[in-house]
Amino acid sequence: MREKYYEIASKRLIPPFALWKEIEQYGPRIISKGKGVYLYDIDGKEYIDAMSILWVVNVGHGREEIINGMYEQMKKINYVSLFGGYHHEKALELADLICSILPVESVFFSNSGSEAIETAIKLVRQYHYINGNPQRYKIVGRWHSYHGVTYGALSVSGIRQNRNFFEPLIPGFIHFEPPYCYRCPFNGVYPSCNLRCADDFERLVENEGPKTIAAVVVEPVMSALGSVYAPDIKEYYRRIKQICDKYDIILIFDEVNNGFGRTGKFFAYEHTEVIPDIFVLGKGLTSGYAPLGATAVSKKISDVFKDWMFVHGFTFGGHPISSAAAIENIKIIQNEKLYENSHIMGQYLGKRLNELYEFDIVGDIRGIGLHWSIEYVDDKKTKKNIPSKFWVAAKIEKELFKNGVYLARASVDRTYIAPPLIINQDQIDFIIQALKKSIYSVQKDYKSLVK
């Protein structure tokens, strides 16, 4: 059977964000089972899931409460569409629950983070149109940010390699610089830089014409760039919000990865003193038991749609099984206060990760809660990059897998670490040991190559 699966993988399934050739060469890594923080491959070998698969499985694998909730719903009815004013109980209960855990008035459901971002973009464009400001159509994002892969989500994202093949992207999407202290785009050093990166937003708005700007989309703790957040996160977002208020721009927080306990608070906006107009949710909303995205909006936005149809919707948005999963998942996070464990274990993980600075190729280690990253470099002093063709993060990820740790690979020169929020110290110790072993071995290879 195993061989059969290998053949299918090399022929039949186009892999997302992976080299097909590589799968042919090494064989697919088939994950068959999961329980708690552990995964088991097709041969029964055990791994610690150090990435919640993809910043998703916050409550851990195999939670009976969620499985039962989904099963009960499935027995009642498998599918109801929310189109045209129909409802089902679970979507209503979930909308109410989300409005009780976030400072929002109402919610729109989709199936993924990308769709929830698309929804936010379309909501604000229609919002400004209804308010008599159709010229306010521009959406601001930050360079190096990831907000998804559909055209709107990709256009607001700022990762060059993801954009190359698909340009031209949607007109009217513009970007400013992120608060990336390790490689400050302004060559500044905090605090003497006076958070120039926040002011870069205002510069962009002024240059573009403030009355043309609809919204700005930011991920409070930037995932793809490697757990990047402003050194004074409160002051940074106070300034971003001040600029939004000054020019009447809608503030959107992408909490697809950050939300549901990941950063050591229930939601990442709690690290700031700012409440955005829109929250974008996905991933940890159901912990991956079923696909679901949500765009949760303030009263200011909600009220405008009381008399106007939102001309938008996904067939499966707010699916009853996904809604049932989300409800049980949120209850677990609340009852077990998993955001607190994320904070406590996050501090321990951070302390242990700091030991990795002993390696020459480890340039920077940063994170918050259970959202951590390692950035690799050729030279610590100059911060020179390791050539991308060496695929350093991929090599380390492969070594880790051999050493019993699963890490999704999403970057050329960064390792992301984001285990389920139920993780304990012993399990973190296991991950650190495996990281040490794996980095040691890849560093040795790299050094022998560049000699």
Ligand X SMILES: Cc1ncc(COP(=O)(O)O)c(C=O)c1O
Least distance from ligand X to the Cβ atom of residue 256, Å:
4
Count interface residues toward ligand X (CB under 6 A). 13
Choose which of 49, 118, 219, 413 interacts with ligand X (CB under 6 A). Answer: 219
Which single residue brings its beta carbon nearest to ligand X?
A: 113
Q: Which stretch binds ligand X (CB under 6 A): 110-118, 204-212, 232-240, 388-396?
A: 110-118
Cβ distance to ligand X smaller for residue 219 or 375? 219
Q: Which long-range contacts (CB under 8 A, 24 or more apart) does 333-340 make?
A: 333/58, 333/59, 333/260, 333/261, 333/266, 333/421, 334/101, 336/59, 336/422, 338/58, 338/59, 338/261, 338/421, 338/422, 339/261, 339/264, 339/265, 339/266, 339/369, 339/421
Tell which positions 260-319 bind ligand X, by CB under 6 A. 282
**Among the candidate windows 95-103, 145-153, 192-200, 414-422, which touches ligand X by CB under 6 A?**
145-153
Of the pair 263, 438, the CB lying nearest ligand X is at 263
Coil/strand/helix, residue 367: strand
Interaction residues for ligand X, span 373-412 (CB under 6 A): none
Q: How far is the CB of 55 from ligand X (least distance, A)?
A: 6
Strands 293-297 and 278-281: antiparallel
Question: Which residues lie below 8 Å from residue 150, measured CB to CB, with a gap of 6+?
Answer: 114, 115, 117, 118
- Alpha carbon distances (Å) from 427 to 48, 349, 404: 8, 10, 11
114 belongs to the binding site for ligand X (CB under 6 A):
yes
Q: Which residue has the tokens 């549901």?
A: 260
Identify which of residues 113 and 179 has a Cβ nearer to ligand X in the complex: 113
Q: Which of 148, 346, 350, 419 binds ligand X (CB under 6 A)?
A: 148
Among the listed ranges 86-94, 144-152, 184-192, 400-408, the one in contact with ligand X (CB under 6 A) is 144-152
Length of the chain: 451
Give the number of other CB atoms < 10 A from CB of residue 85. Answer: 5
Enumerate binding residues for ligand X (CB under 6 A). Answer: 112-114, 117, 146-148, 219, 223, 254, 256-257, 282
